[in-house]
């Protein structure tokens, strides 16, 4: 197992078996390992669901679904392909985003764009990030992006918008949004010190 970075995703539990190892045990039906996995990831899972859905009840449901999915598909996790936390967070984020999209599919498009403008994901992040080092670092890294990069990345990730919606919102061409999402995220990767 690879050691994690200075500010690890698992909240600093270096002295315990890492998440990747625990996921391997999970895959063998080890419930005790799942309890540990729960402790490591549940706050992040719930946090991302809450951020995207903005509704505690729905966030809790989505977190529950995502955590069950972690248990269910642990055997499909491959450490060689990425960190355990990224795997877990991908599950959680996808579920949250899919839920938001399903809810919004019902809403008429204009209304939707109107809502888009109300939601300013980055502002939230900026406001709420005072507690942990990791949040501080996130804020700093987001602050290092150009405005367009930052908006593209945060509207997509926290707002659950597709790149088409983001383009519409920011009134920039599709190709520009795609590019900004990519180079913005590359910059975040480098700033956050993400491995590989």
Partner 1 sequence: MSGDPHTLAGAYALRAVEDAAERQAFEEHLSRCPECELEARGLREAAARLGAALAVEPPARLRGRVMAEIGMVRQLPPVPAADPAPGSGPLSFPVQPPPGPGPAPAGGANPLGGPGFPGAPGSLDGSRSRGGAGSVGGPGSDSPGAGPGGPAPFPGPGQGPGRGSGRRSRRRAASRAAWAPRVATGLAAAFLAAAVGLGVVAVRTGDQLDRARAGGERLAAVLAAPDARTVTRTADGVTGTLVVSRSQGRMVFVSAGLSALPEGRTYQLWRIGPSGAVPDGLTRPGADGRTPPVVLGTPGDATKVGVTVEPAGGSRRPSGDPLLVMPLPPA
Among residue numbers 72 through 131, which ones bind partner 1 (CB under 8 A)? 72-78, 81-83, 85-95, 97-99, 101-102, 105, 125, 128-129
CB 159 within 8 A of CB 174: no
| Residue among 17 and 82 whose Cβ is closer to partner 1 | 82
Query: What mask of x and - would describe binding to partner 1 in positions 126 to 155, judged by CB under 8 A?
Result: --xx--x-xx-xx-------------xxx-
| Residue among 22 and 161 whose Cβ is closer to partner 1 | 161
DSSP string of 62-74, one letter each residue: HHHHHHHHHHHTG
172 lines the binding site for partner 1 (CB under 8 A): no
Contacting partner 1 (CB under 8 A), which of 107, 113, 114, 175?
175
Which of 22-25's residues contact partners 24+ apart within 8 Å by CB, and which partners?
22/84, 23/70, 23/74, 23/77, 23/79, 23/84, 23/87, 24/74, 24/77, 24/79
60 lines the binding site for partner 1 (CB under 8 A): yes
Residues constituting the chain: 196
Contacting partner 1 (CB under 8 A), which of 11, 79, 119, 144?
11
Tell me how far apart the alpha carbons of residues 29 and 75 are, in angstroms, rounded to a whole number: 9
Q: Cβ of residue 111: shortest distance to partner 1, in angstroms?
A: 18
> CA–CA distance from 86 to each of 44, 123, 164 (Å)?
11, 24, 25
158 lines the binding site for partner 1 (CB under 8 A): yes
29 lines the binding site for partner 1 (CB under 8 A): yes
CA dihedral 15, 20, 23, 24 (to 10 degrees): -100
Q: Cβ of residue 171: shortest distance to partner 1, in angstroms?
A: 17
CB 183 within 8 A of CB 75: no
Contacting partner 1 (CB under 8 A), which of 1, 16, 68, 146?
68
Contacting partner 1 (CB under 8 A), which of 23, 53, 63, 116?
63
Q: Cβ of residue 80: shortest distance to partner 1, in angstroms?
A: 9
67 lines the binding site for partner 1 (CB under 8 A): yes
């Amino acid at each position: 197992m690879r050691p994690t970075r200075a500010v690890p995703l698992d909240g600093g539990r270096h002295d315990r078996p890492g998440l990747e190892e625990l996921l391997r045990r999970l895959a063998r039906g080890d419930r005790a390992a799942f309890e540990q996995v729960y402790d490591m990831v549940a706050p992040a899972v719930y946090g991302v669901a809450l951020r995207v859905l903005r509704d505690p009840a729905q966030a809790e449901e989505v977190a529950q679904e995502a955590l069950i999915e972690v248990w269910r598909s642990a055997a499909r996790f491959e450490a060689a392909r990425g960190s355990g936390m990224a795997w877990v967070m991908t599950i959680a984020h996808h579920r949250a985003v899919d839920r938001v999209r399903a809810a919004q599919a019902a809403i008429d498009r204009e209304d939707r764009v109107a809502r888009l403008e109300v939601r300013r994901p980055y502002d939230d992040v900026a406001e709420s990030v005072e507690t942990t080092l990791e949040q501080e670092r996130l804020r700093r890294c987001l602050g290092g992006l150009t405005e367009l990069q930052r908006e593209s990345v945060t509207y997509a990730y926290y707002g659950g918008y597709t790149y088409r919606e983001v383009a519409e919102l920011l009134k920039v061409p599709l190709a520009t949004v795609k590019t900004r999402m990519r180079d913005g995220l590359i910059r975040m990767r480098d700033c956050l010190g993400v491995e590989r």
